[in-house]
Amino acid sequence: MARPRLEGSQPAAGGLARLRSLLRPGMGFKRWLVVIFVGELLLASAGALVLRQLYREAAPEGPGSSPILWLLTLQFLPLGLRPVVLVAAGAAVFLFGLRRLMDALMEPLGGSRGAPLVEMLVRDRTLARGVRIVAIGGGTGLSTLLRGLKAHTSNLTAIVTVADDGGSSGKLRTELGMPPMGDIRNCIAALADTEATMTRLLQYRFPEDGEASGGLGGHAVGNVLIAALSEIEGDFEEGVRKMNGVLAVRGRVVPAAPVPLTLHAELDDGATLIGQSRIARARAIRRVWVTPLDARASGDALEAIAAADLVVVGPGSLFTSLLPCLLVGEIATALRASTAPCVYVANVATQLGETEGFALIDHLDALQRHVGDGVFDVVLANGNLGARAPSDWPARPVAPELPESWRRRVRFVTADVVDADNAHHHDPEKLALALLALPALGLMRRARPDALRSA
């Protein structure tokens, strides 16, 4: 069932109200508060023994002989009122001190992330109990998905394509022999707490014609950071792990493979193309494949799939974002072996070039031809075709229509997941809520015949 949205929640009024939020079930705060009170109780018992001795030494007739002891033992009050005054004074002092302590912690720690410390603790503990989700793909679609899911869980793993060969990623790939990191950079930015600021930083490109840029001309800051960490650690996967840790993102981003992949395509007319940037503009693609053919999947990716509660493939470019991940043989095998339901999120619109003129069944048929049966349990398609689009928009909506032959093989779900003002993009929050609602609908992984599992 979908969890309430935490991103951008309004601050609770007052420090005491924030403290009350820590007492919610599952916060892991009350148990330690009890420990603190037990310690205070022991200290209070020791203080009571001291007061008892002082009572014995104080003169019962008045303050004449020992005024300090007479005041400390509250003998100027009626006997029955003394415990009430002590409890009230102790509670007031305790709450005042606790509040000031929390305020002192909030200022340096909470302010750095734009929210009070207590709200950060409550949010982080709630997100840490969220569903374990693995998202597979690349490009704008995967970033959109992560942007919506991070408001509901921090147990996110994005498995990202490493077949890009254009722009800054392509240059670093050629110069340093590293897997392209452009999609990895975009996903890390999407998962950052301070997304707007982090996006501006990681996406900033040094001017190509600037004298001061030198060899950095045209490179994105995020790509340079990942490349630097990979060089420092001596391993690309470890460099990406460090990047996740340095930026403290919600979840983690991992490459589909630890080596750069090269995407190849065969067209209907028999022509072949090499390179993701060229294939993205091509029409009538018959099949694609990646080299090296024996490329192994990232260990982090396989571990995440094995531990997932839900696996999501898409949205994203069919031939240049999704299939380059799925064609790493170990990933498709891991998806078939996983006990988690695997959901294919259909694109809301076709793409000029690679999926021009495609219907929903064309997307699914292409996936089946390349990775076989037994991978997907659920197909989630957009059911709202009324989103606004420019009059000269060349792409077309992907209608939520699926023939009976496919409906017998997967569970088909439609929902309003499109951005109302941008008909060729998903809405992050709508998509996240639709995915999180699937377990509540009973749409979990179902048993498959051995023939399908070995396809």
Over residues 219-235, mean pLDDT: 89
pLDDT at residue 187 is higher than 90? yes
pLDDT reported for residue 9? 43
Residue 256 to residue 302: CA distance in whole angstroms: 9
The residue-averaged pLDDT of 26-46 equals 70
Question: Mean pLDDT, to the nearest integer, of 326-337?
Answer: 94
Question: Phi first, then psi: what are they for 429, rounded to 5°?
Answer: -70, -45
Q: What pLDDT, on a 0 to 100 scale, did the predictor assign at position 42?
A: 75
pLDDT at 340 over 90: yes
Tokens of 374: 């037994």
> Considering only 35-44, 149-158, 251-260, 270-279, which range has the smallest mean pLDDT?
35-44
Enclosing H/E stretch for 222: helix 221-233
Burial class of residue 232, CB neighbours in 10 A (0-12, 13-18, 19+)? exposed
Q: Does residue 141 register a pLDDT over 80?
A: yes
3-class SS at 220?
A: strand
Asked if the model's pLDDT at residue 455 lies above 60, the reply is no
For the entire predicted model, the pTM comes to 0.76
Is the pLDDT at 270 greater than 60, yes or no? yes
Residue 246 confidence class, pLDDT cut points 50, 70, 90 = confident
Compute the average pLDDT of residues 258-284: 95
Instruction: Quote the pLDDT of residue 91.
Output: 78
Residue that has been written with the tokens 């009324």 in this structure: 386
3-state SS of the chain is CCCCCCCCCCCCCCHHHHHHHCCCCCCCCHHHHHHHHHHHHHHHHHHHHHHHHHHHHCCCCCCCCCHHHHHHCCCCCCHHHHHHHHHHHHHHHHHHHHHHHHHHHHHHHHHHHCCCHHHHHHHHHHHHCCCCEEEEECHHHHHHHHHHHCCCCCCEEEEECCCCCCHHHHHHHHHHCCCCCHHHHHHHHHHCCCHHHHHHHHHCECCCCCHHHHHHCCCEHHHHHHHHHHHHHCCHHHHHHHHHHHHCCCCEEEECCCCCCEEEEEECCCCEEECHHHHCCCCCEEEEEEECCCCCCCHHHHHHHHHCCEEEECCCCHHHHHHHHHCCHHHHHHHHHCCCCEEEECCCECCCCCCCCCCHHHHHHHHHHHHCCCCCCEEEEECCCCCCCCCCCCCCECCCCCCHHHHCCCEEEEECCEECCEEEEECHHHHHHHHHCCHHHCCCCCCCCHHHHCC
Query: Which of the 8 DSSP states describes residue 397?
Result: B
pLDDT at 376: 94
Superfamily of domain 131-161+256-453: CofD-like domains (3.40.50.10680)
Q: What are the angstrom distances between the C-alpha of 262 and each of 265, 319, 353?
A: 10, 13, 19
Q: Which amino acid is present at 371?
A: V
Tell me what pLDDT residue 127 has: 74
What are the residue boundaries of the structural domains of the chain, listed by start? 15-126, 131-161+256-453
* Residue 177: predicted pLDDT: 84
pLDDT at position 437 is: 92
Which of these ranges, 125-129, 286-290, 392-396, has the smallest mean pLDDT? 125-129
Residue 417 has pLDDT above 80, yes or no: yes
Who wins on pLDDT, 145 or 197?
145
Task: Write out the two tokens for 316.
Answer: 């994203």
What confidence tier does 48 reach under pLDDT thresholds 50, 70, 90? confident
- % of the chain exceeding 70 in pLDDT: 75
Q: Are 218 and 208 in contact (CB under 8 A)?
A: yes
Can you tell me the mean pLDDT for 351-362?
A: 93
> What is the per-residue DSSP string for 33-52?
HHHHHHHHHHHHHHHHHHHH
The pLDDT of residue 86 is above 90: no
Query: Do 331 and 159 meet the contact criterion of CB atoms below 8 Å apart?
Result: yes
Query: What average pLDDT does this structure show over 305-333?
Result: 95
The residue ranges of DSSP E strands in 116-218, in sequence order, are 133-137, 156-160
pLDDT over 90 (residue 302): yes
Confidence of residue 247 (pLDDT cuts 50, 70, 90): confident
Per the CB < 8 A criterion, the answer to whether 142 and 156 are in contact is no
Instruction: Report the residue count for the chain.
Output: 455
Closest listed residue to residue 287, CA positions, set 319, 328, 330: 319
Q: Does position 15 have pLDDT exceeding 70, yes or no? A: no
